[in-house]
């Protein structure tokens, strides 16, 4: 803070003009760079509030065409193959509204591949459904009893092979 005051004392009005000029210049550069964004949903949030007729379509799962996305973002063949392996739900998460690929991006395939990897790892980390967890517990608990039951059934089966009418 002392340094700031000393510069202000030495430069006077010129210092304030320089700070204001640099601030305005920085804001202009930022605005110019945002014009090149291909999917600017993040910066146009207010437009989502308009048009209540499309509400169900906006918030539900939207179908994503792999070939359209590959053409739009100029994705390579390997990325296209990986995208074709995903389900429609996974594709909608990969190409969700938070995806931003700038027009000057040199390798958009790397961004999409990263999102595919994130989607696959998050899917692997999700807990199993409750039903499959119960099935696993039942199998672990009942397995010894089932094996004993098979042995008992075999013994009874061998005994029943002898005819009772003799």
**Residue pair 37/102 in contact by the 8 Å Cβ criterion:** yes
- In sequence order, the 6+-apart residues with CB closer than 8 A to the CB of 39 are 97, 99, 100, 101
Confidence at residue 132, expressed as pLDDT on a 0 to 100 scale:
59
Domain locations in the chain as residue ranges: 1-35, 61-141
Q: Is the pTM of this model over 0.75?
A: no
Rounded to an integer, what distance in angstroms lies between the CA atom of residue 103 and that of residue 36? 5
Query: Between 61 and 87, where is the model more confident?
Result: 87
Rounded to an integer, what distance in angstroms lies between the CA atom of residue 38 and that of residue 104? 10
pLDDT tens-digit readout, 86-129:
988 889 889 888 788 887 888 899 999 999 998 888 877 666 55
Confidence at residue 142, expressed as pLDDT on a 0 to 100 scale:
60
Does the pLDDT value for residue 45 go beyond 90? no
Residue 34 three-state SS:
helix
Please name every residue paired with 37 in a beta bridge, in sequence order, or none if there are none: 102
Query: Among residues 68, 121, 124, which one has the least CA distance to residue 95?
Result: 68
Does the pLDDT value for residue 78 go beyond 90? yes
Category of 78 on φ-ψ map: left (φ > 0), alpha (ψ -120 to 50) or beta? alpha
pLDDT tens-digit readout, 120-146:
888 776 665 555 556 666 566 666 655
**Residue pair 29/60 in contact by the 8 Å Cβ criterion:** no
């Amino acid at each position: 803070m002392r340094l700031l005051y000393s510069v202000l004392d030495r430069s006077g009005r010129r210092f304030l003009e320089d700070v204001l000029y640099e601030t305005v210049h920085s804001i202009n550069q930022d605005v110019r760079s945002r014009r090149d964004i291909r999917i600017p949903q993040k910066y146009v949030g207010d437009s989502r509030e308009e048009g209540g007729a499309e509400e169900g379509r906006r918030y539900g799962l939207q179908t994503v065409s792999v070939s359209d996305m590959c053409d739009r973002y100029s994705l390579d063949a390997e990325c296209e193959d990986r995208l074709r392996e995903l389900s429609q739900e996974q594709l909608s998460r990969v190409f969700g509204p938070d995806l931003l690929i700038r027009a000057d991006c040199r390798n958009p395939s790397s961004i999409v591949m990263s999102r595919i990897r994130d989607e696959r790892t998050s899917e692997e980390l999700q807990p199993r459904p409750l039903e499959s967890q119960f099935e696993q517990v039942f199998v672990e608990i009942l397995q010894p009893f089932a094996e004993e039951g098979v042995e008992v059934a075999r013994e009874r089966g061998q005994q029943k092979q002898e005819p009772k009418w003799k």
